[in-house]
């Protein structure tokens, strides 16, 4: 566990609460993969290396912490393991953090003061010098000038160039962000053309740009999602232009339906955004075309999604509920969507009934459905129902997360001692009865995890014997350094042995982390000299690994 002095903005507890236990624990393993960390008084940017290179942005202030990451989990809106790693890296700065923030703030102030000291002529000279040195920057300014001057032909030509593929005809992963920036620049130019009074031309240019991007996307490695995000900016520019110069509704409806029906890459307009522009006639045209596609392929998820978008554009809650209810899944996802739809329409009793029905009927209720129902119970002051829900979910899926939720609910009603005894009885039976290659085989018995989480370390050590995985042993050892250092020490020494046969900075960082923990165990045992001898022997044995030696030195080992 990372235990460092933290700034007032957020704490380790905040990170764990926002990320959840699973992401938090996984984030610990990425602490040493954080690079290019830049920090200010309200945000942090960094690069985290995992399966790929991910960009992370953290924002914090007034007790709030949020994160944005380019990984798939982060793009879905979650505070992912990479965000956790960056946040923990900030905490590791400890008392040096305020100084780092102040240095960044002072540098920014000095830069701004220098700019303010320049005359208009001096600023213009600086800018022209930069434009002469940087052709891309010059083209960006030329494009802005064309937009502001309502030079539609120049804007159209520039947008085409921005959306062109590179000479090799393919955008590699490491080029995707640059290509996405070109799409964003095209969207901004279209917006500026709209603002300058060229909305009708902007509509045509936006449509052409969307067509070009759809073709180009086949040759783009958009694993990071950057180009898809930029495509939505292009869609927004089209909507903005349509609002400034409303097209004929029927033709607009036909165009939007065509975009939706032929979208293969996940960036398409939302019909509800165009509801006022479409009116009844435009919506009818879009609905007719999409309904025909849905009727021809009712099992096609894309056609189904489009049909739902039409219903949402029409704003008929009952029609949406009937549509979703015709396809209830075993995760209760559509039950949840119905509950949210009805809740948004102020029909709370019906919404609650659908949420309860989903948890009751779904074979494997989605976590979001369960949390939605729990939130409704809590809002109504129905703590006993929350407890019953948590008990049922833990009984059905005995995971650490469900145990923690049960503990929280039972604690609020004063029933935790009895609930804990029952829960541990189930987990002990699981640990005894599951066959060797059971579902938990790769993660170890949940019993060990919950005992560690409860702080019942003596019981955890007993339960771990002969059953725990390496990761569970390490978590148990980490929690026991102060109380059971003699038991924790062998765990770290065993974990180091196989790593000595491997290479790579990630491996070396793990070795250093285990060594730091082993040193803490020796210090607690009063055997620091023994650790010194062990470390010296390890360094001699591994001396050819230069990066390992550097990492050990960096960690004071």
Q: Which residue has the higher pLDDT, 118 or 421?
A: 421
pLDDT grade for 3, boundaries at 50, 70 and 90: very low
Give the model's pLDDT for residue 4.
Answer: 38
Give the model's pLDDT for residue 61.
Answer: 73
Q: Which residue has the higher pLDDT, 405 or 298?
A: 405
Task: Report the candidate in 411, 371, 363, 401 with the shortest Cα–Cα distance to residue 389.
Answer: 371
pLDDT at 139 over 80: no
Place of tokens 């021809």: 296
* 8 A C-beta contact, residue 499 and residue 515: no
Give the model's pLDDT for residue 384.
Answer: 94
Report d(CA 408, CA 406) in Å as an integer: 5
Give the model's pLDDT for residue 410.
Answer: 94
* 8 A C-beta contact, residue 389 and residue 370: yes
Give the model's pLDDT for residue 310.
Answer: 78
Give the model's pLDDT for residue 435.
Answer: 59
User: Chain centroid to CA 304: how far?
Assistant: 27
pLDDT at 293 over 70: yes
* 8 A C-beta contact, residue 334 and residue 325: yes
Tokens of 26: 């996984």
Task: Report the candidate in 298, 319, 300 with the shortest Cα–Cα distance to residue 310.
Answer: 319
Give the model's pLDDT for residue 351.
Answer: 93
Q: How many CB atoms lie within 10 A of CB 10?
A: 20
pLDDT, tens digit, 9 for 90 and up, residues 489-524: 999 999 999 999 998 888 999 999 999 999 999 999
Tokens of 40: 């200010």
Report d(CA 165, CA 212) in Å as an integer: 10
From 91-105, 158-172, 448-462, the region with the lowest mean pLDDT: 91-105
Task: Report the candidate in 231, 229, 221 with the shortest Cα–Cα distance to residue 162.
Answer: 231
Task: Report the candidate in 84, 74, 83, 71 with the shortest Cα–Cα distance to residue 25.
Answer: 84
Q: Which residue has the higher pLDDT, 271 or 52?
A: 271
pLDDT at 42 over 90: no
Length of the chain counted residue by residue:
557
Query: What would the mean pLDDT of 526-537 be, rounded to a whole number?
Result: 94
pLDDT at 1 over 60: no
Query: What would the mean pLDDT of 373-398 be, rounded to a whole number?
Result: 93
Query: What would the mean pLDDT of 417-421 be, rounded to a whole number?
Result: 94
- Sort residue 410 into left (φ over 0), alpha (ψ -120 to 50) or beta: alpha
Percent of the chain with pLDDT over 90: 48
pLDDT, tens digit, 9 for 90 and up, residues 65-80: 889 887 877 876 789 9
**What do you get for the CA distance between the two ends of the chain, in Å?**
19
pLDDT, tens digit, 9 for 90 and up, residues 194-206: 998 999 999 999 9
Of the CA atoms within 13 Å of residue 112, those in its CB half-sphere come to: 6
From 62-71, 368-377, 504-513, 535-544, the region with the lowest mean pLDDT: 62-71
Give the model's pLDDT for residue 229.
Answer: 86
Instruction: Provide the mean pLDDT of the chain.
Output: 87
DSSP code string of 275-319: HHHHHHHHHHHHHHHHHHHHHH-TT-HHHHHHHHHHHHHHT-HHH
Percent of the chain with pLDDT over 70: 96
């Amino acid at each position: 566990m990372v235990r460092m002095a933290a700034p007032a903005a957020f704490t380790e507890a905040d990170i764990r609460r926002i990320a959840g236990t699973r992401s938090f624990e996984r984030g610990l393993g990425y602490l040493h993969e954080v690079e290019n960390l830049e920090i200010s008084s309200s945000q942090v940017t960094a690069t985290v290396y995992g399966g790929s290179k991910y960009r992370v942005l953290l924002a914090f202030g007034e007790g709030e912490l949020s994160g944005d990451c380019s990984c798939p989990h982060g793009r879905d809106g979650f505070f992912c393991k990479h965000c956790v790693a960056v946040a923990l890296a900030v905490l590791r700065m400890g008392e040096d953090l305020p100084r780092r923030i102040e240095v960044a703030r002072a540098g920014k102030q000095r830069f701004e003061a220098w700019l303010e000291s320049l005359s208009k002529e001096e600023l213009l000279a600086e800018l022209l010098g930069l434009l002469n040195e940087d052709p891309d920057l010059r083209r960006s300014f030329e494009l802005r000038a064309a937009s502001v001057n309502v030079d539609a032909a120049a804007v159209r030509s520039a947008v085409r160039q921005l959306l062109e593929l590179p000479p090799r005809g393919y955008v590699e992963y490491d080029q995707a962000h640059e290509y996405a920036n070109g799409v964003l620049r095209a969207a901004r130019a279209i917006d500026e053309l709209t603002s300058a009074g060229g909305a009708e031309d902007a509509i045509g240019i936006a449509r052409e740009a969307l067509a070009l991007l759809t073709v180009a996307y086949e040759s783009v490695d958009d694993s990071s999602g950057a180009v898809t995000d930029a495509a939505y900016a292009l869609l927004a520019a089209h909507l903005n232009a349509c609002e400034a110069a409303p097209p004929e509704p029927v033709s607009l409806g036909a165009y939007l339906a065509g975009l939706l029906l032929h979208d293969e890459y996940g960036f398409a307009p939302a019909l509800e955004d165009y509801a006022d522009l479409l009116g009844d006639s435009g919506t009818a045209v879009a609905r007719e075309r999409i309904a025909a596609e849905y009727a021809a392929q009712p099992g096609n998820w894309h056609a189904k999604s489009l049909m739902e978008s039409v219903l949402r554009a029409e704003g008929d809650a009952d029609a949406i509920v009937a549509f979703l209810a015709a396809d209830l899944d075993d995760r209760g996802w559509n039950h949840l969507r119905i509950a949210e739809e009805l809740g948004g329409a102020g029909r709370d009793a019906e919404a609650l009934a659908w949420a309860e029905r989903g948890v009751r009927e779904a074979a494997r209720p989605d976590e979001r459905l369960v949390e939605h129902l729990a939130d409704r119970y809590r809002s109504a002051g129905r703590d006993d129902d929350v407890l019953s829900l948590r008990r049922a979910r833990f009984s059905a899926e005995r995971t650490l997360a469900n145990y923690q939720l049960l503990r929280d609910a039972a604690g609020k009603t004063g029933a935790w001692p009895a609930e804990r005894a029952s829960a541990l009885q189930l987990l002990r039976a699981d640990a005894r009865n599951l066959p060797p290659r059971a579902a938990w085989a790769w993660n170890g018995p949940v019993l060990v995890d919950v005992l560690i989480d409860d702080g019942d370390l003596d019981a955890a050590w007993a339960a771990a014997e002969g059953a725990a995985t390496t990761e569970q042993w390490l978590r148990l050892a980490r929690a026991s350094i102060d109380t059971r250092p003699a038991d924790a020490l062998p765990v770290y020494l065993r974990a180091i042995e196989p790593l000595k046969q491997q290479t790579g900075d990630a491996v070396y960082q793990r070795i250093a982390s285990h060594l730091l923990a082993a040193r803490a165990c020796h210090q607690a045992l009063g055997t620091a000299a023994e650790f010194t001898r062990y470390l010296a022997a390890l360094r001699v044995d591994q001396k050819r690994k230069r990066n390992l030696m550097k990492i050990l030195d960096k960690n004071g080992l």
